[in-house]
Chains A and B, each alone.
Chain A
Amino acid sequence: MQTQETTRPIVSSKAKRSRTKRQFLRDNLVLLTLTLPALLYFLIFHYLPMFGIIMAFKDFKYHLGIFGSEWIGFKNFEFFFLSNDAWRITRNTVGYSVLFIGIGTSAAVTVALLLYEIKNRFALKYYQTTMIFPTFLSWVLVGYITYTLFNPSLGVLNQVLSFFGADRVDWYANPAYWPYILTAVNVWKTIGLSCIIYYAALMGIDSELYEAAKIDGANRWQQTKAISLPSLLPVITILTILAIGDVFRGDFGLFYQIPRDVGMLYPSTDIIDTYVFRGLRQGNLGMTAAVGLFQSFVGLVLILIVNSIVRKLRPENALF
């Protein structure tokens, strides 16, 4: 910089241009070095595993390694899609995602609208803090809580049932209960946070709208229907659409820690992610890698579709 300062008057414009060009390149190289650690990280931990998906087309054996194992074409996929598991885990994964989007969103919006009616600052803070608490819990700790409720011999729910003279229920032996349990647990854990998002959107509404409605004689319910809900609609739409991009992925923690990996519950609790985990444990790597690739691929297609929809509806919210 200093030399450039002093020599400026004598250099020709051509030399100056090549110097600024060189300077530009040098600046870019320095900036590039700042990104290098992260680039290296993504290369090793994200791009190398992408090449590892060739495992899905091989009969993987540990002692032969990825490159030494025998090519078997689409056999792994064939084996998976012809098994009963394929339909079960796909149905469960997508079904639960859709259930969580529907019930989770309606619950969060309802609670946010109710919270909006609370004007007492202390009460508001208290309600919000208790609701957000599960966000800080790991699924392991949520697993402790559900276990105190559902433990067949000591659990609270069975105590309540026998108090009212009803028969005790072995919750961990009957898959029929689990769609309800998992949905309730998921809503319990996530409602605090989504409620904050919707509440923030409500806080952004111009209060003059409500004043005007009041003058026109609208009651609170009419105001909610005509002002609050329509104002939330864009947020609801965008969050729902983004969630649809993720329907092929389940929360491993929820589906592993809460049903405690009990085999008898698999018909209603097994999702792609838990299935892949078990495949890893059992050493069935080639087939499991194929399932993982199936999940990644469908996930990619879904995100691309969802993004093109978002780009049409609300370009500023599009991912790319």
Chain B
Amino acid sequence: MTKRSLSLRNPVFWVHAFFILFSLCFLIPFLLIIAISLTNEEEVLRGGYSLFPFPLDFTAYRVVFQNPEQIIDSYLVTTFQAAFGTIASVFIMSLCAYPLSRQSFRWRGPITFYIFFTMLFGGGLIPSYILITQYLNLGDTVWVYILPSLANAFHIIIFRTFFQGLPYAIIESAKMDGASEWRIYFQMILPLSKPVLATLGLLGVLARWNEWFTALIYIRSESLYTLQYLLQRILLEAEFIRQMASEAPTGIDFGVFTVPTETVRFALAIVAAGPLLVIFPFFQKYFARGLTIGSVKG
């Protein structure tokens, strides 16, 4: 392509201008949250949230790191359910998808329908809630994060489609050599399926890392909160504290004695969500692939 200079006359210049502004819509919100967490509390209460943290103040982070117990608990719970949940789920889903990819499997049709039907119709939230809390007694345990989301019909179908693309001849020859189906699954199918395992595994980790809905519905103990649910409670409860403060009689100086709720809230958001937000974009390619097969079949 011939090199064109970027002049005001060139429409590409305007396209770039548009995208530079457009990308600011996505960057500024993050910078804003970082800036607030680094601002002095009184300054925030006086002048409102600002992109410019003057004067720079690390009090909020000091408060966060002086009381780390809850954050550590939530990090542990989140990491455990994300890691264990994803591994168990990817294992069970791919294990199930392998027979469904085999032409010779006799009950392929009925089983595929049995799984697929759950995508079309469900009992809804209330019957699941009653089942999980009253009959399975999983409410307020760490297992409620893992068991009810162990498999996903759509992901099983993605696995099956991928397995169908594998060369059948090597499976056939392994069978000739007397390999059992389990062995074929572990020693041939899994190693050949790294791309789809990586994609669906990462999607699983992302969804579970961002988990707050299950906690909202089923979890009461603070020691079992996920990070996102902890953040949600903080966002609502710090506000509650502020409401109490503004309703209290005047003449009491809150400036020195109260915890700086506004800035601490944002510092917590950075500490809880920051590390993974830095890591995830590096896997952008896998996510994009996984999320797009999620929307267009095939």
Contacts and interface: CB of A to CB of B under 8 A. Distances in A.
Contacts of B130: 52, 55, 66, 285
Interface in A215-268: 220, 235, 238-239, 242, 252-253, 257, 260
A88 B19 CA distance: 38
A317 interface: yes
B235 interface: yes
Contacts of A154: 44-45, 48-49, 262
Chain A facing B: main interface SS: helix
Given A154-B44, A293-B124, 5 more contacts: A37-B96, A111-B22, A148-B29, A260-B236, A292-B127
Interface string B127-151: 1111100101000000000011011
B269 A141 contact: yes
A244 B271 CA distance: 39
Interface in A124-139: 126-127, 129-139
Interface residues of A, number: 100
Interface in A37-60: 37-39, 41-42, 44-53, 55
A81 interface: no
A118 interface: yes
B64 interface: no
Contact of A35 (B100, B118, B182): B100
B29 A145 contact: yes
Chain B facing A: main interface SS: helix
Interface of A: 1-2, 24, 27-28, 30-32, 34-35, 37-39, 41-42, 44-53, 55, 62, 65-66, 111, 114-115, 117-119, 123, 126-127, 129-141, 143-145, 147-149, 151, 153-156, 158-159, 188, 192-194, 196-197, 200, 220, 235, 238-239, 242, 252-253, 257, 260, 276-277, 279-280, 285, 288-289, 292-293, 295-297, 299-300, 303-304, 316-317, 319-320
B111 to A, nearest CB: 6
B269 A144 contact: yes
Interface of B: 1, 11-12, 15-16, 18-19, 22-23, 25-27, 29-30, 32-33, 36, 44-45, 47-50, 92-93, 95-96, 98-100, 102, 104-107, 111, 114-116, 118, 120-131, 134, 136, 147-148, 150-151, 153, 156, 176, 178, 180-182, 185, 206, 210-213, 217, 228-229, 231-232, 235-236, 262, 265-266, 269, 273, 276-277, 280-281, 284, 287-288, 291-292, 295-298
A49 B128 contact: yes
A34 B176 CA distance: 20
Nearest to B212: A140
A197 B19 contact: no
B177 to A, nearest CB: 8
A319 B117 CA distance: 11
Given A118-B15, A135-B291, A42 B105 contact: no
